[in-house]
Amino acid sequence: MKDFYVDKPSFEESRRIMEKMYHSIPESSNGRYSLSELRPIEEVYFDFFKRGDKLLVLRGQGEIIGHIHFGPQRDERFSSNLSGHIYDLYVKKGYRGEGAGRTLLRSALEEVKPIFQTITANTYRFGAGWHMLKSEGFNEKRITFSTDKRLSHSRINAFEIFRGLPDDLGKVFVEISSSPTIVKRQLQMTPSELFFNLNEIMDSGGRILICRQDEETAGVLIYSVFEDLMTYSLLGFIEFVFVSERFRRMGIGRNLLSFLSEYLLIRGVEESFFECVFESDYHFWSRAIGMKEFSVLLEKKVES
């Protein structure tokens, strides 16, 4: 873009950009949030630039026409590796479609080359952001689905579902660990890494549902409840779902999810999320039972 250049903002400019980021949340969230329900700006951005984050701006015609906010992100749920992450990319409406976003993205990629081996970004599939990231060499890594009280279900009378104990996880883990290749392909981790992560989740307040038939465990679902970072609403997160091989294709996974939705709704939690490896069996299962695609995480290897 002629006569436009990438620069670092001043402290005051950074503060104004943070305010713009806050007021553009309804747009960037695809209408999920409204300004009236958001937490105060000081709460939403309480750690703004405290994690080693960086902000670049695109200047032209005497004004800032866009910005990109990026920095480190440690995906503790699935990996111990530190990667870069693009938190926000914004271009003023009058300048969209002219390469401003691509210019900012490429500048950010140059900045992270000496630090990270990979960089990630969340967006909605098939939108403008997704198309740009794909054209710049990003590929889908994980996908997030949402589910709410409208999820259809059917009960299977032969099975009972109830709240379990952490020890119940060990009863199905023998079967899980017997197929390390499948676990690696479906979850991108080893059985021992999975067991460690799930135990950490349980120690941090995670809860487990058990589906059983005649004292035999047919399936488990582990979930957590947390406060939305943008609002004060409670949200559910499905940490793990597993159905024993001989009980598959009997609707047990759907039954567990339905039970959870009803259980959480009574407690004021109207929506839950489930994240899985892109194009894994979990991905196709989530879509088949009626979950709604929410967002996708894309990743690009950064060549130094």
CATH, residue 93:
3.40.630.30
172 and 214 in a single domain? The answer is yes
Tens of pLDDT, residue by residue over 213-234, are 888 888 999 999 999 989 999 9
90 and 188 in a single domain? The answer is no
Q: Give pLDDT, residue 195.
A: 87
Q: Which residues form the domain of 210? A: 147-296
Domains in the chain: how many in total?
A: 2
Q: Give pLDDT, residue 181.
A: 85
Q: Give pLDDT, residue 159.
A: 84
Amino acid at 92: K
Q: Is residue 304 part of a domain?
A: no
Percent of the chain with pLDDT over 90: 52
| SS3 assignment, position 157 | coil
231 and 121 in a single domain? The answer is no
Tens of pLDDT, residue by residue over 123-172, are 999 988 999 999 999 999 999 999 876 665 555 667 889 998 888 787 77
Tens of pLDDT, residue by residue over 47-59, are 776 677 899 999 9
Write down the pTM of the prediction.
0.88
CA 276 to chain centre: 9
Q: Is residue 12 part of a domain?
A: yes
129 and 260 in a single domain? The answer is no
Confidence band for 35, pLDDT divided at 50, 70 and 90: very high
Q: Give pLDDT, residue 74.
A: 59
Q: Give pLDDT, residue 3.
A: 80
Which of 99, 114, 137 delimits the end of a domain? 137
Q: Could you tell me where the beta strands, DSSP code E, fall in 92-250?
A: 118-123, 139-148, 160-163, 207-213, 216-227, 234-243
Tokens found for residue 250: 């009997």
pLDDT, mean of residues 14-31: 88
Q: Is residue 302 part of a domain?
A: no
205 and 241 in a single domain? The answer is yes
153 and 277 in a single domain? The answer is yes
Q: Give pLDDT, residue 81.
A: 62
